[in-house]
Amino acid sequence: MIPIPDPAELKAAAESAEYATEWEVAFHEAGPVVVEVVVAWSYPTSAYITDDPSLNHRGRVTSPAFFRAWLPYVFSPREESFARRIQQERLDLAAVLLGGCLAAWLAKDDDPYPGDAAWPLFNDGPHDADTDMGKVRKLVDLHGFDDDWEDWEDLAGEWVEEAATVALDALKSNWSQVRRVAAALMEKRTLDSSALSDLVPEDEVQRR
């Protein structure tokens, strides 16, 4: 397996690059894989690194398979009895989506505070719906926080912070698996669900 540069090397390379480095993207892709296994007990259908560096910008990550599978539950709640389940699934989904940027930070030995993940949602203007942050923002909007802007920002920020805490716990408890997936992505470029399940065996996953 390809040796992983140490955090200082990863950070130096990232700071001097126009786009995200391939190692950043590898960790950005690996993080959601591991978080999905931890919180959803499922594996993405695939993970990959594109060969076009202009597409490997910070914030881009393959959507987890379960995001697509859960769309009817997450976006179209019709039964009141499902409300609690839907809220938990939204939180789990946000944790998976945030796993990419958090894993990329951790790989560079940056130990983010969970609240750090919330600020880009409120300070960077509109978000492309196809990016991770765009999807998280959609989940925030669907969650039904108070329409008053100040209350909305506080409550939404707390909710995103809670999701980021879930993601960080999953990543830190299973960091060796994150590294394993990132290295395999650098070597293979594309991994299917079978390869991902081999890299992140269920019996090795740590859950709190």
Per-residue pLDDT reduced to its tens digit, 30-76: 999 999 999 988 888 888 887 665 554 444 444 455 555 555 555 55
Rounded-to-integer distance, Cα 20 and Cα 32, Å: 17
The residues with which 7 forms a beta bridge, in sequence order, are none
Q: Which helix (H) or strand (E) is 48 found in, with range?
A: strand 46-48
pLDDT of residue 199: 95
What are the sequence ranges of the domains in the chain?
A: 7-204
pTM of the model: 0.84
Is residue 112 within 8 A of residue 31, CB to CB? The reply is no
CA atoms within 13 A on the CB side of 193: 10
Is residue 112 within 8 A of residue 106, CB to CB? The reply is yes
pLDDT of residue 61: 44
Cα 136 to the center of its chain, rounded Å: 10
Type of residue at 152? W
CATH classification number, 7-204, choose in 1.10.10, 1.10.3470, 1.20.58, 1.25.40: 1.20.58
Most confident of the following: 36-40, 45-49, 117-121, 136-140: 36-40
